Structure 1
Amino acid sequence: MKPPLIDRGDRPLAYRSAYFVSDSTGITAETLGNALLSNFPGFTFAKHTIPFVDTAEGAAAVVRDIDADAQSGLSPILFTTTKDPAVKRTLGAASATVIDLLSGHLTELEAALETTASEQLGRYHALGDATQYFARMRAVEYAIEHDDGQSSRALDIADVVIIAPSRCGKTPTTMYLALQYGLLVANYPLTDDDFPTDELPSMVASYAGRCFGITTTPLRLSQVRHERRPDSRYASLAQCSLELRRAEDLYRRNRVPFLNSSTKSVEEMSAVILQTLKLRA
């Protein structure tokens, strides 16, 4: 169903349908496609990720959905990373603006490397370097064990210790750094028990050089907490303001770098942490 237009000053917010279609997981199509779409903030996109489209029949089913969207007025955009010629031809017939995210680049690489690209499907997310793969899996296990201050075991090997009040974005950032970069990341929640001391909590105090703080705006934190515990003191604007003020004072006193998560994506936050702590990417 086409969503209603929302008035945005003197011009309406435009809606389009965006499809990310892949013969594998769809992660590449989704990541590259979203990176391109982010350059057009005046639009809201109804997004659909469709993985494992590796036959012409499967592609035809996708085309039927795209054509239906086109008839409803959503003017679809199709991002694809499929490799099979028959699948590409079928998708190319859709009533959409088709953007092949790989073809031009593969041609350039074939010329540079003086060979043809592999026709094997799913190469973009193959196991690759087994050492790196298992390092990421270990990092995810470490992140789960050390989420929300659950464990102090092996904190001495942590690459990063993220500290912040509850619901500021510690866990998503931790998991992204672990899965994307294979970093050992722990996170610790700042609670009333950690104040009014001027020092970092005892569990993480020995690792101050690896700590990174997160803050947000009181209003944003209150909104997020209300989803978890509606109409509670925990979610009140006064409590959120107090916790954030104390946390930021703690960061400054202990020279812990920090950032505001209210306007940043997990990817942006992770990039700042990597750069600030001079960690390998």
Structure 2
Amino acid sequence: MVYNCTKRTIFFISDSTGITVEALGLCLLSHFEGVTMRQVRMPFVDSEQKAREAVEIINATQAKDGVRAILCMTIVNPSIRALFQLTGGMCLDMFGTFVNPLSSELGMPANETIGMSRNVGGSEYRDRIEAINFTLGHDDGISDNGLQEAEAILVGVSRSGKTPASLYMAMQFGIRTANYPIIPEDLERDTLPGTLANHRDKIFGLTIDPERLHKIRTERRPNSRYASLDNCKEEVRMAEVMMHREGINMIDSTSRSVEEISSMIVQQLTMRQNKRLVGY
């Protein structure tokens, strides 16, 4: 087979949901600019029969592409993993690469129960579900009720990335997150929306380049004052002045992914918690 990156196909294969392996695979691919790959997801490959069916698809794809596929796998069962090795594809075996060496280091076998990372019956899973419900109930300034239970509150002008970051923090970290848009009326009053002034220690501000904001808003409401570049510039400027005066830490969401924004906020939350524990 001749190498040709324009026809590469990457398979995300898992005996569970495949969320973990897809996230890791995409993270690895992000380091190779200009490479576009067709992505195929294969979750719940938890039997040899399903694996053989998947292998047939992979082999047919490789024959059509004229180049071997890339297989990102989180498969617990070694017999099933071995079937994919026979395809001749480039196998990025997450369990073989990480779990087996760790098992040797710890001197004990790994638990081969499928889906261990989800731990559906555990308290961590329940905390995440509760965090998601809280975040959905406090999205876009829907309600002030129970705001004292929020662990983080995101503020910023409309379309600056508050909702995606809030939901990601709830889903991935189990953090109860509320978010509030800073609307023109707030800017005219030059005050934080709602009752947020009572929760300054939980607030994080998102800001964004006006040019980027203009493009995002134009997709939503073309040819409107809301989306005009001049209005975007003014809203961002006034919002930044307000947040600076209120002592709110700001994160620029212009070129940052939801994962990056969320991780930065979680890091700051952890630092604040540590400072409280040591009496700062």
- TM bin (shorter chain): 0.7 to 0.9
Give a deviation string over 1:97-120, Cα, whole Å, max 9, x none: 111011132222222332222232
- Which residue does 2:246 correspond to in 1? 254
One-letter amino acid of the structure 2 residue matched with residue 157 of structure 1: E
- Which residue does 1:204 correspond to in 2? 196
Contact 2:8 2:65 in 1 (8 A): no
Query: 1:234: how far off?
Result: 1.8
- Which residue does 2:223 correspond to in 1? 231
Correspondence 1:269 to 2:256:
no
One-letter amino acid of the structure 2 residue matched with residue 211 of structure 1: I
In structure 2, C-alpha distance between the alignment counterparts of 1:75 and 1:233, rounded to whole Å: 51
- Which residue does 1:101 correspond to in 2? 94
CA RMSD of aligned residues (A): 2.2
- Return closer, same or farther for 1:231/1:27 CA change in 2, 3 Å cut-off: same
- Return closer, same or farther for 1:131/1:123 CA change in 2, 3 Å cut-off: closer
| Partner of residue 115 from structure 1, selected from 101, 108, 111 | 108
Correspondence 1:151 to 2:146:
no
In structure 2, C-alpha distance between the alignment counterparts of 1:275 and 1:222, rounded to whole Å: 30
- Return closer, same or farther for 1:239/1:68 CA change in 2, 3 Å cut-off: farther
- Return closer, same or farther for 1:52/1:234 CA change in 2, 3 Å cut-off: same
Structure 2: 5+ residue stretches without partners: 275-280
SS in 1 for 2:144: coil
- Which residue does 1:217 correspond to in 2? 209
In structure 2, C-alpha distance between the alignment counterparts of 1:217 and 1:174, rounded to whole Å: 20
- Which residue does 1:5 correspond to in 2? none
Give a deviation string over 1:110-164, Cα, whole Å, max 9, x none: 2233222223222232326x22222211111110111000000111221111001
Contact 1:274 1:280 in 2 (8 A): no
Correspondence 1:80 to 2:73:
yes
Number of positions where the alignment pairs a residue of Structure 1 with one of Structure 2: 269
Query: 1:14: how far off?
Result: 4.9
- Return closer, same or farther for 1:222/1:137 CA change in 2, 3 Å cut-off: same
One-letter amino acid of the structure 2 residue matched with residue 89 of structure 1: A
In structure 2, C-alpha distance between the alignment counterparts of 1:273 and 1:142, rounded to whole Å: 18
Query: 1:280: how far off?
Result: 6.4
TM-score, normalised to structure 2, is 0.87
- Return closer, same or farther for 1:74/1:172 CA change in 2, 3 Å cut-off: farther
- Return closer, same or farther for 1:219/1:201 CA change in 2, 3 Å cut-off: same
In structure 1, C-alpha distance between the alignment counterparts of 2:273 and 2:69, rounded to whole Å: 39
| Partner of residue 141 from structure 1, selected from 122, 133, 136 | 133
| Partner of residue 14 from structure 2, selected from 10, 22, 43 | 22
Contact 2:140 2:181 in 1 (8 A): yes
Query: 1:238: how far off?
Result: 2.1
Query: 1:69: how far off?
Result: 3.2
In structure 2, C-alpha distance between the alignment counterparts of 1:279 and 1:29, rounded to whole Å: 32
In structure 2, C-alpha distance between the alignment counterparts of 1:114 and 1:58, rounded to whole Å: 32
Contact 1:21 1:53 in 2 (8 A): yes
Contact 1:198 1:253 in 2 (8 A): no
Higher helix share: 2
In structure 1, C-alpha distance between the alignment counterparts of 2:67 and 2:247, rounded to whole Å: 50
Contact 1:26 1:50 in 2 (8 A): yes
Give a deviation string over 1:51-104, Cα, whole Å, max 9, x none: 101122322332233333323246421110112233212211224211101113
SS in 2 for 1:213: strand
In structure 2, C-alpha distance between the alignment counterparts of 1:228 and 1:163, rounded to whole Å: 20
Moved over 6 A (4+): none
Correspondence 1:69 to 2:61:
yes
Query: 1:27: how far off?
Result: 1.4
TM-score, normalised to structure 1, is 0.87
- Percent pairwise identity: 37
